[in-house]
Amino acid sequence: MLEGLAGRGLLIDGDWAGPGRGGTYAHHDPATGRHQADVGLASAREVDDAVRAARAAFPSWRRTPPHRRAAVLARLADLLDEHAASSAALNALDNGTPVSAMPSGHYAASWTRYYAGWVDKLDGEVLPVHDTGALDYTRTEPYGVVAAIVPWNGPMMGMGQKVAPALAAGNTVVVKPPELAPFGALRFAELALEAGLPAGVLNVVPGGAATGQALVGHPGVAKISFTGGTATAREVMAIAARHCTPLALELGGKSANIVFADADLDTAVPVAAVLGAGLLSGQGCALPTRLYVDERVVDEVVARVVAQVESLPIGDPLDPSTLVGPLVNQAACTRVLGVIERAHADGARLATGGRRLADTLEEGYYVAPTVFCDVDQHSDLATQEVFGPVLAVLPFADEDEVVSRANDSAFGLAAYLHTRDLSRALRLVEALEVGTVTVNGFPPMSPSAPFGGMKASGFGREGGRAGIEEFVQRKNVTLRY
């Protein structure tokens, strides 16, 4: 499966260009550690070819009647749904995500179908003017070529979140999927061509840092949409500044999960255990990795969270019964184990996990879901994004204290809150400095809802009307008559 996509390599102007000229990346199966394929990386020249192709395709795609653009996207959504099972398996081989945990094909389909419905709804407005004999109105227009950099932890998901609204708005797109996990993005592009997307409208150039630098620094790029780490985003911003290219950035997080004494623990505990230490093996930007628990119930909550964490099924990501899969590669495994070692040194108390898994999983990149208690508010574990299955538990005494501590973070992506007190919930929703708050449950991940961060978690939104507004500009027109 991967070899065929790797052999196709790059998609430029409707043609598969074969392995790129920017070198290769040896891709390994995260579950076994075995070599799977050599990923061809795009060179700066191939990035230039892709941007040129997108610029050439832009006028025609922009002028394509809305109902035809919508029909292509709707057909693509149908194909994504039709091939969802194979896409889930591809994602498991791509980055180790269990097929049970993230139906990437269905997810991308839902976003694509949602934005297909927006194609003919991007309206302007007529504005009041003081002068007589004048008409003032606005119109929405696409930017042109959008550079979309999708994350390795959800490449096909990222295509739905970025490519679908960009195309719906009339832009053309050049996507850089990461060398760590390029295959979901390539599969999305294959299906887009099958759906009838014209040549050059979507181009895909896998690569690492050098490829990304060539893309975001290209003068032909009119807008950048980037998902990734905060440190990389600073470099992207610096390069984009050369041409004043506008950006939308969805970055890292260190999301707080706040459990009050009156919470329904039958709901709060699964959120803490599954999202905080299990799902995606912690490799998700909005996962609640800081668990603040009312000191009156902290012992009960910790005991129940540990019990559930220890019961999470770990194993082959292609097995439908698996919930926790491997980390993406050996480097990630080594990094997360280093985080655990430093947490011990900082005085945190290990409640469960804290080791690399052996026996039948020893060849893969598996780290046991880990829970630390007695975590210092200012330690690395409480302040830095781990991107691994490590949960920090911190008790609190009252509402004011926990709000202050939850906001005491460089990040501001998401927060989770558990309480039966509606007034308290509404107070915290207002007080928490984040882009998304989920109260008493799991986040819905709906394409109709805006998602994005504050502070070092970025700016701009994906999802909802705000998600497509990222890809249009408003032009004001004054007409005298």
State the catalytic residues: 250, 285
Q: Residue 376: is it exposed, middle or buried by C-beta count within 10 angstroms (0-12/13-18/19+)?
A: middle
Phi and psi dihedrals of 76, rounded to 5? Answer: -60, -45
Query: What residue has token string 């230490």?
Result: 277
Q: How far apart are CA 98 and CA 426, in angstroms?
A: 35
> What per-residue string of b and e applies to 319-334 under the rule 16 or more CB within 10 Å gives b?
eeebbbbbbbbeebbe
Close Cβ partners of 207 (under 8 Å, ≥ 6 residues apart): 20, 22, 41, 42, 47, 176, 178, 179
92 with 317: CB under 8 angstroms?
Answer: yes
Task: Tell me how far the alpha carbon of residue 110 is from its chain's centroid.
Answer: 15
315 with 323: CB under 8 angstroms?
Answer: no
Report the candidate in 332, 25, 335 with the shortest Cα–Cα distance to residue 207: 25
